[in-house]
Amino acid sequence: MTTEYSGTGDPARSLALLWRTRERASRKGRPDLSVERIVRAAIEVADAEGLTALSMRRVAERLGVGTMSLYTYVPGKGELLDVMLDTVYGETARPDEVPGGWRGRLTQIAHETWALYLRHPWLLQVATTRPPLGPHVIARYEYELRAVDGIGLTDLEMDAIVTLISGYVHGTVRGAVETAQAAARTGMTEQQWWQAHAPYLEKALDPRRFPLAARVGTAAGQEHQAATDPHAAFEFGLARILDGIEVLVATRPHPTAATGGR
């Protein structure tokens, strides 16, 4: 599903755009354009049409300007994609107080990340092993680390847990995105699809030949009124991951209230 890679632009130019340290556009630039307007238009294109539709020309069309006018502000698509990523990462809520200690904080982070992918499905098409090191990305990482700071973990373990939660959400949200896209493109919800197919499945599925598939599949289908429920699977898996982290934390000295523990 990946179609693009972050970090492919010129490092100096990307960082200048991300941190807005680049000099202002020359007088030849259009007064009605800015990096912010261009990036927002690019995000709108990606949201509506997918990342494969994104190009400097398509963004220019959305803004009603000539393609070449964009290059006064953004050097190219690689740098543009980095700023797009950093911009949407800035959307996640980062409340100072979250109930439930570290477990509640990680749950809140996972839910915010899940919602971010649903708002911007094109994020699944970008490989971010070389992340854009912009202010929103760094602030997000700082916030995620604070969720597990002071509970007895090493710095490397804190980083690994942040990576674990992020990777888990990335993997599981794909099903939710595909479900939403299937409903939009077919005009049929998962519940409607299941109601249309379930009667035939009940007749075709022989419980003597497939006893577990018949029993478990029927129970799941009746519960979800669909072949699967991506959000229910996400919540179940997240709880099990947090259970595992709790076992690790329990092996460490009990943190005091002053260090941000449970």
In percent, the amount of the chain with pLDDT more than 70 equals: 92
Least confident of 19-23, 37-41, 115-119, 188-192: 19-23
On whether the pTM is more than 0.75, the answer is yes
Closest CA relative to residue 234, chosen from 168, 144, 182: 168
Class of domain 101-191+230-259: mainly alpha
CB distance 10 to 79 below 8 Å = yes
Strand partners, 89: none
| Residue 35 to residue 72: CA distance in whole angstroms | 9
Architecture of the structural domain at 4-89: Orthogonal Bundle (1.10)
| Beta bridge mates, 4 | 126
Between 12 and 30, the more confident residue is 12
Cα gap 89→59, rounded to integer Å = 20
Diameter over CA atoms, the chain: 78
Of residues 257 and 120, which shows the higher confidence score?
120
Q: For the chain, how far is it from start to end, CA to CA, in angstroms?
A: 39
How many whole angstroms separate alpha carbon 35 and alpha carbon 3?
23
Look at residue 196 in the predicted model and tell me its pLDDT: 86
Where do the structural domains in the chain lie, given as residue ranges? Answer: 4-89, 101-191+230-259
Q: Are 148 and 158 a contacting pair, CB within 8 Å?
A: yes
As separate numbers, helices (DSSP H) first and strands (DSSP E) second, the chain gives 11, 2
Where do the DSSP E strands lie in the chain? Answer: 4-5, 126-127
Same CATH fold assignment for domains 4-89 and 101-191+230-259 = no
Which is it for strands 126-127 and 4-5: parallel, antiparallel or unpaired?
A: parallel
